[in-house]
């Protein structure tokens, strides 16, 4: 059985027009023309679904794409890489794996005065975004992290978390 990353790599793009897959005929034509671009589904999703949802201009959508191209490919948890599945409709891998499903996340929450602007968005997996919920302050984030730590059963993995935090702190200095 293929793991989810392998399923994403093995995907063959849907070649028919379908609004749930390509959002509009213009983006469908763009996808056909650029079918060999490994980032085409990310671009389609931003230019289609997210630009409409957040009322971004085409220029703002392209700016977001350019600023986030590397992050759009996936994320690491320890040594494991979770490739993002940007597919929609017929291009979506099913069943969905929330660690592989990308979402746009507000950097500064709307509750804290943040906007839907492309500068206030970042890419997170659906699972991480759901876990974050609306933690708005560092104190709320710390309380969430500490609560998660209480649930760890694998102490070896927990030690890996401590080491990862130490590495992150060293990199931030």
Rounded average pLDDT over 145-170: 81
Q: Does 117 lie in the same domain as 92? A: yes
Q: Does 152 lie in the same domain as 89? A: no
> For the stretch 150-166, what's the b/e string if a residue is b when 16 or more beta carbons lie within 10 angstroms of its beta carbon?
eeeeeeeeeeeeeeeee
Q: Does 147 lie in the same domain as 66? A: no
Rounded average pLDDT over 149-156: 81
Rounded average pLDDT over 142-158: 79
Here the tokens at position 158 are 């927990």
Rounded average pLDDT over 126-147: 77
d(Cα 43, Cα 118) in Å, to the nearest integer?
A: 14
Residue 21 has a pLDDT of 97
Which range among 12-16, 88-92, 132-136 shows the weakest confidence by mean pLDDT? Answer: 132-136
d(Cα 52, Cα 93) in Å, to the nearest integer?
A: 23
Here the tokens at position 62 are 């392209």
Q: Does 170 lie in the same domain as 97? A: no
Here the tokens at position 25 are 């005929």
Count other C-beta atoms under 10 Å from residue 23's C-beta: 20
Render pLDDT for 43-68 as a digit per residue (tens, 0 to 9).
Answer: 999 999 999 999 999 999 999 999 99
3-state SS, residue 125? strand
**Range of the structural domain that residue 167 is part of:** 138-173
d(Cα 142, Cα 17) in Å, to the nearest integer?
A: 46
Rounded average pLDDT over 96-103: 95
3-state SS, residue 122? strand
Number of domains observed in the structure of the chain: 2
End-to-end, the C-alpha distance of the chain in Å comes to 43
Q: Does 50 lie in the same domain as 30? A: yes
Q: Does 107 lie in the same domain as 131? A: yes
Residue 159 has a pLDDT of 84
Q: Does 111 lie in the same domain as 45? A: yes
Q: Does 52 lie in the same domain as 22? A: yes
Q: Does 96 lie in the same domain as 35? A: yes
């Amino acid at each position: 059985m293929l793991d989810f990353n392998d399923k994403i790599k093995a995907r063959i793009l849907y070649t028919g027009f379908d609004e749930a897959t390509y959002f509009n005929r213009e983006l469908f034509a763009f996808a056909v023309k650029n079918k060999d671009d490994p980032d085409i589904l990310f671009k389609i999703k931003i230019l289609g679904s997210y630009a409409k949802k957040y009322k971004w201009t085409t220029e703002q959508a392209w700016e977001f794409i350019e600023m986030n191209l590397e992050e759009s490919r996936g994320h690491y948890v320890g040594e494991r890489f979770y490739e993002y599945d940007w597919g929609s409709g017929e291009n979506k891998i099913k069943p969905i794996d929330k660690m592989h499903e990308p979402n746009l996340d507000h950097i500064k929450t709307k509750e804290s005065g943040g906007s839907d602007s492309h500068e206030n968005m970042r890419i997170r997996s659906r699972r991480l975004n759901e876990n974050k919920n609306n933690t708005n302050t560092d104190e709320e984030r710390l309380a969430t992290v500490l609560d998660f730590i209480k649930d760890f059963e694998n102490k070896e993995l927990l030690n890996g978390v401590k080491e990862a935090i130490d590495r992150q702190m060293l990199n931030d200095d």
